[in-house]
Amino acid sequence: MSSETFAPEADARLRAEAAEIISRYPQARSALLPMLHLVQSEDGFVSPRGITLCADILGLTRAEVSAVATFYSQYKRHPNGEYTVGVCTNALCAVMGGDIIFEKVSEHLGVGHDETTVDGKITLEQVECNAACDYAPVVMVNWEFFDNQTPASTIALVDQITAGEPVQPTRGASTVGTFKEISHVLAGFEDGRADEGVGAGDATLLGLRLARENDWQAPGARRGRREDADGGPAGDTAAAGEGA
């Protein structure tokens, strides 16, 4: 493993931020996951020197840190692009066109899964469920949602990124931070975007709206309301007793 270390200024800054992260946990080693995002925000991937820094601060071996870094797909072990474009190809998105989107975008960019364009702008990924099936097929750029995509719209999206133009997610933040910026957010440091944009769209809220319009309740909730009206046990108590 490389013996390269961070420059003194970067080392001091990263150690100070790591100390802030560690202070949030009862045991220091519990801070490893956000600390890996922290070093990734500096180098654009979990570099050998990032592994060494985490191990030194937490009193772990580099092998122990590497074992965690290689387990989760959001930690990159080689330089990542400025923007990660993830095309969902899990069941529903695939049926709705996700596979075709990935194929066309891959051909357009000249890269495959987990590969980066020569200009370093985009790393393309096939991703498992983005938890946005109500907007399938979905593409994410640095984990921001771009809903109801088509091959043409996604190619236009990556062309904007390549040209250095800002792109606007369908929901969430008004703009997309770079991979390094978002890694810093995932380390636990706010970037001011948390309250921007739409949180949940109409498709996500449709079931809730229908339930309210039709006064639909879960069975335990209905029984609780009825027994309350008859002078019986309170709803939560009755439901808890039934569950027990």
Q: Give the N- to C-terminal CA distance of the chain in Å, as an integer.
A: 54
Global pTM reads: 0.82
Domains in the chain, CATH or no CATH each:
8-71 (1.10.10.1590), 83-177 (3.40.30.10)
Q: What pLDDT, in 10s, does the model give residues 64-77?
A: 999 999 999 999 99
Cβ neighbours of 199 (radius 10 Å): 11
User: Which residues have CB under 8 Å from 174's CB, separation 6+?
Assistant: 168, 193, 196, 197
CA distance 180 to 74: 12
For range 210-239, the mean pLDDT: 66
Which band of pLDDT confidence, cut at 50, 70 and 90, is reported for residue 230?
Answer: low
What is the DSSP-derived secondary structure letter of residue 176? Answer: -
Which band of pLDDT confidence, cut at 50, 70 and 90, is reported for residue 224?
Answer: low
Cβ neighbours of 196 (radius 10 Å): 14
Residue 193 has a pLDDT of: 83
CA distance 183 to 38: 6
